[in-house]
Chain A
Amino acid sequence: MFNRTAIAPLEYTRKLWMRSWVGLTMLFLYAPLIVLMIFSFNDSKRNVVWKGFTLKYYEKALNNDSLVEAMVNSLTIAFFATIISLVIGALAAVMLWRFRFPFKGLVEGTMSLPIIVPEICLGVAFLIFFAKVDWPTDLPWPLNLSAITIAHITFCFPFVAMVVRARLASFNKEEEEAAKDLGATEWQAFRDVLLPHIKPSLVAGALLAFTLSLDDFVITFFTSGPDTITFPVKVYSMVRFSVTPEVNAASTILIILTVALTFIALKYQGVKGISDAH
Chain B
Amino acid sequence: MTETNQPIIQIRNVSKRFGKVTAVDNISLDIRAGEFFVLLGPSGCGKTTLLRMIAGFELPTEGQILIDGQDMSLVPPNKRPVNMVFQSYAVFPHMNVTDNVGYGLRISGVPKSEIRERVAEALELVKLGGFEDRMPDQMSGGQRQRVALARSLVMRPKVLLLDEPLSALDAKLRAQMQFELADLQDKVGITFVTVTHDQDEALSMASRVAVINKGEVAQLAPPSDLYEYPANRFVADFVGSVNIFEGTLTLDEPDKAAVDCPGLGKVYLNHGVTGPHGANVWIALRPEKIYLHVPGKGKAVRAAAQDAPDGHNFARGTIKGMSYLGDITLYEIQLEGGQIIRVSRPNLSRHDQEDFTWDDKVSMHWRADSPVVLLS
Contact = CB atoms under 8 A, between A and B. Distances in A.
A183 B78 CA distance: 4
Q: Which of B78, B87, B91, B151 has the most CB of A within 10 A?
A: B78
Contact of B104 (A174, A183, A196, A197): A183
Contacts of B77: 177, 180-181
B155 interface: yes
A122 to B, nearest CB: 38
A174 B79 CA distance: 17
Interface residues of A, number: 17
A181 B107 contact: no
Contact of B107 (A175, A182, A196): A182
B86 A178 contact: yes
B94 interface: yes
A175 B151 contact: no
Contacts of A174: 86-88, 90
A178 B90 contact: yes
Interface string A193-220: 1001100000000000000000000000
Q: Which of A177, A178, A196 has the most CB of B within 10 A?
A: A178
A182 B151 contact: yes
B136 to A, nearest CB: 11
B236 interface: no
Contacts of A185: 78
Contacts of A179: 92, 103
B103 A182 contact: yes
A178 B84 contact: yes
A188 interface: yes
A265 B61 CA distance: 48
B97 interface: no
A183 B90 contact: no
Interface of A: 172, 174-175, 177-185, 188, 192-193, 196-197
Given A174-B88, A174-B90, A183-B107, 20 more contacts: A172-B88, A175-B90, A175-B93, A177-B55, A178-B84, A178-B151, A179-B92, A180-B77, A181-B82, A182-B78, A182-B103, A182-B151, A182-B152, A183-B79, A183-B108, A184-B78, A185-B78, A192-B103, A196-B94, A197-B93
Interface of B: 55, 57, 76-79, 82-84, 86-88, 90-94, 103-104, 107-108, 148, 151-152, 155
